[in-house]
Amino acid sequence: MMKKNLLLLLGLVLFTSINAQVYFEEKFNSNIPATWQNIDNTTNGGGVWEWVSGGGTGLAVFDSDGYGNDGIAENADLITPMFDCTSAASVYLKIEGLFAEYSTSAGRVYASNNNGTSWTLVKTINTDSEDQYINLTAIAAGNDSVKLKFNYQGSWAYFWVLDAVKVYTPDANDASMLSIDNSIYVDLNGSPISFTGTMQNSGSSNITSFVINYSVDGAPLVSSTITGVNIPFGGTYTYTHPTTWAPTSAGSKSVVVSIGNVNGSADANLADNAATKEFSVFDVAVQRVPLFEVFTSSTCGPCKPGNTNFHNIVDTKPAGDYTSIKYQQDFPGTGDPYTTAESTSRRNYYGVNSIPRMEIDGGWDQNASSFTEALYTDARARPAFMTLKATYNVDTASKTVSIKVDGQSIQAYPAGTYKLHVAVLEKTTTKNVKSNGETEFFNVMKKMVPNESGTAIAAIPNGYVIDEEFTYTFNGNYILPSNGTAANNVNHATAHTVEGFDDLEVVVFVQENQTLDVLQSAKAKIDTDNDKYSDEEETAAGSNPNDALSTPLNVSIKDINTVSVFNVYPNPATDKFNVEVKTVNNETVTVELLSILGETLQTVKTTNMAVFNTSNFAKGVYMVKVVAYNKVVATTPVVVR
């Protein structure tokens, strides 16, 4: 079931000032004015429109979800005062807001030119949608007794939010640039790209032609004329610039796409004619492990099919190819018993106002039922510029989880606020069953370590190394909260909600705090002997995963049976790179160069220096492995550019 966090919606839309004749305007900054009529058309308390404040502005809202599952049909009108359009030859309506559809809910807009004696239906809204643009000329132009009516009908559905209502005569030729939709990542060695995005007609005349331009890092405009279109007032158009862009160097590139010369005339409002986007041009990348975060609840009916759809897709994929976290929520109703303060905080971090809701690497934000195979493939195909891995161990007796996280960037990231997040999950839970028909719940977040704020990373230059260790002990005994309300959330200082400590797993990820972009994620691998090396690594290297003294990656210079020197340079490499390696006893070691998939490409035996020729290698990330004393004693990634 949808749940609103209406204060978060305040940031979704901002009314653009238009230099045009305005006949009526309301922004609901302080209330729903007393001059408006707010009418419950039912006879049994179906509900009325409400005003919601936040962030110095306000919203007029019919909150069907908030009225709950009371079995009462809702039918409510919000009617403007009368206004005068006598001087207008053309009249248009712009509604800023958000309609969230569920079941048979609908919003309807009516107009009257006789002070509400009779009404004409001008718009029906019965799908999820945002701003509405309506031509009222036939009804309102030249009339002095115009009114508007906003009618909501539903029953425990979602909501309709009005942020602003404006009746005006727009300028004839006015185009607005809404977005540049290309991925921010551009492969230097890939095909040239065509800039594409969305523009909108904000003028009264249909747009039949316009000029589209782009500029990279302030270079001269690349312009082209688009013809053969017919975009009505309020209509949007997906543009593609005919001239492609082929970057010539790696790095950050600032791109501005703009529109002008609408219908052969100057645009009346130049303030909204351009969009800017920062692109990252790369020449080498690593495989991305996408993070899928799902906000759900055992009291949410639509969450069951959402979770089913999600698992139908990801459960067929190799376990290490993606990561997933489920955050149980405190709604609808009293919510899921396994709701925590951290799970609701994570929801607010994204501004999530409905469930089931799903985030893909902090970007794609939709109902989990809308997740597709294509979206999974796209998420995997997106390049990453950081390696990340983790191990974990669970001491079931002390209820302590120990976690080791390692990673390294292969290129510099822009300045930002980066965080390393660690989430301890329970693979399957069954005791939080409520009303939605689900009997098992998967990848349920139990604790963020140290908390939902994560661990700060000041900056990520090329070659930045992540080397972090975490320990968390679950306190007290198991409890099953009666519901998900804040008063009943588990207090981690005194209790826990883990059904089985032998069923825990760990997901780690790095995220930029402002853009919400997830750089990379990893599913931690079990480390039975808690020596910071996974059982998988130790078994592959011939060491004992149950013996903490037998490790595959020991590079301590204090151990007489390990290496004393280990350097790889230059890294990144072009035609060749060197591996300087020495053991304290000057023994011969084997240095192997492996593909990222573990395939051995070259092998050199040496007592001090190995040189690898990479002039014919594809650009990418490779691994260097040093074997001595019949075990792996050192590894590191190397980048070939």
The predicted-structure confidence for 404-449, as pLDDT tens digits, reads as follows 998 888 888 888 899 999 999 999 999 999 999 999 999 999 999 9
Question: Residue 383: inside a domain, yes or no?
Answer: yes
91 and 65 inside one domain: yes
Residue owning tokens 């809910």: 105
140, 169, 198 - which closes a domain: 169
Overall average pLDDT of the 369-394 stretch: 93
566 and 597 inside one domain: yes
pLDDT at 610 > cutoff 60: yes
For the chain, percent of residues with pLDDT exceeding 70: 93
d(CA 327, CA 340): 8
Question: Residue 18: inside a domain, yes or no?
Answer: yes
- Which has the closest alpha carbon to 82: 30, 28, 24, 157? 24
- Which has the closest alpha carbon to 246: 197, 191, 196? 191
156 and 226 inside one domain: no
Weakest mean pLDDT among 85-89, 331-335, 505-509, 560-564: 560-564
165 and 222 inside one domain: no
pLDDT in tens, 300-342: 999 999 999 999 999 999 988 999 999 999 999 999 999 999 9
CATH number for the domain including 138?
2.60.120.200
232 and 374 inside one domain: no
Weakest mean pLDDT among 3-17, 23-37, 243-257, 488-502: 3-17
- Which has the closest alpha carbon to 87: 140, 14, 26? 140
pLDDT value of position 2: 35
Q: Bridge partners of 421?
A: 509
Question: Residue 309: inside a domain, yes or no?
Answer: yes
pLDDT value of position 55: 56
pLDDT value of position 143: 97
d(CA 463, CA 469): 19
Tell me, what DSSP letter sits at residue 28?
Answer: -
89 three-class SS:
coil
d(CA 533, CA 391): 7
181 and 200 inside one domain: yes
d(CA 235, CA 199): 9
d(CA 162, CA 451): 36
pLDDT in tens, 570-605: 888 888 898 988 877 778 889 999 887 778 899 999
218, 253, 282 - which closes a domain: 282
Question: Residue 322: inside a domain, yes or no?
Answer: yes
227 and 338 inside one domain: no
- 457: which 2 tokens? 């990373």
CATH number for the domain including 621?
2.60.40.1930
282, 308, 329 - which closes a domain: 282
Question: Residue 155: inside a domain, yes or no?
Answer: yes
Burial classification of residue 319, based on how many CB atoms lie within 10 Å of its CB (0-12 exposed, 13-18 middle, 19 or more buried): exposed
Question: Residue 400: inside a domain, yes or no?
Answer: no
CATH number for the domain including 219?
2.60.40.10
Question: Residue 399: inside a domain, yes or no?
Answer: no
158 and 111 inside one domain: yes
pLDDT in tens, 453-485: 999 998 998 888 898 999 999 999 999 999 999
239 and 376 inside one domain: no
- Which has the closest alpha carbon to 145: 33, 35, 23, 40? 23
Count: domains in the chain: 4
309 and 266 inside one domain: no
pLDDT at 631 > cutoff 70: yes
Q: Please, which pLDDT band fits residue 185 given cuts at 50, 70 and 90?
A: confident
Q: What is the chain's mean pLDDT, rounded?
A: 90
- Which has the closest alpha carbon to 518: 595, 407, 426? 407
pLDDT at 94 > cutoff 70: yes
Question: Residue 526: inside a domain, yes or no?
Answer: no
Cα end-to-end span (Å), the chain = 49
pTM score above 0.75: no
233 and 263 inside one domain: yes
Q: Please, which pLDDT band fits residue 622 given cuts at 50, 70 and 90?
A: confident
Overall average pLDDT of the 48-72 stretch: 86
Give residue 627's domain range: 553-640
66 three-class SS:
helix
pLDDT value of position 60: 96
51 and 184 inside one domain: no
